[in-house]
Amino acid sequence: MTWNWKLIESNCTGCGVCFDVCSYKVILMSREMPYPEAIPDKCNGCMECVKECPFDAIEVDEA
């Protein structure tokens, strides 16, 4: 199954919570990056980033 990971930049503050909670290392985030990025086609749909994002800045759905 393939999942689409989408960032809603207008809601994102770049806090990095999504990066911290992604145990599959799908999300990339560094100090130089204003926003997190997902590695295309690597998301497994666990939804941890969606659940933990305090700003409702991430959407994950089936492709």
Could you tell me the residue range of the domain that residue 12 belongs to? 3-58
- Quote the number of domains for the chain: 1
User: Is 51 a member of any domain?
Assistant: yes
User: Is 63 a member of any domain?
Assistant: no
CATH of the domain at 54: 3.30.70.20
- Residue range 16-58, pLDDT digits in tens: 999 999 999 999 999 999 999 999 889 999 999 999 999 999 9
Burial 20-57 (b: 16+ CB within 10 A, else e): eebeeebbebeeeeeebebeeeebeeeebbbeebeeeb
Adjacent-strand bridge partners of 60: 5
User: Is 7 a member of any domain?
Assistant: yes
Q: What is the pLDDT of residue 41?
A: 86
pLDDT band at 1 (very low <50, low <70, confident <90, very high): confident
Straight-line distance from the first to the last Cα atom of the chain, in angstroms, rounded to the nearest whole number: 8
User: Is 30 a member of any domain?
Assistant: yes
Which pTM was predicted?
0.90
User: Is 46 a member of any domain?
Assistant: yes
User: Is 53 a member of any domain?
Assistant: yes
User: Is 25 a member of any domain?
Assistant: yes
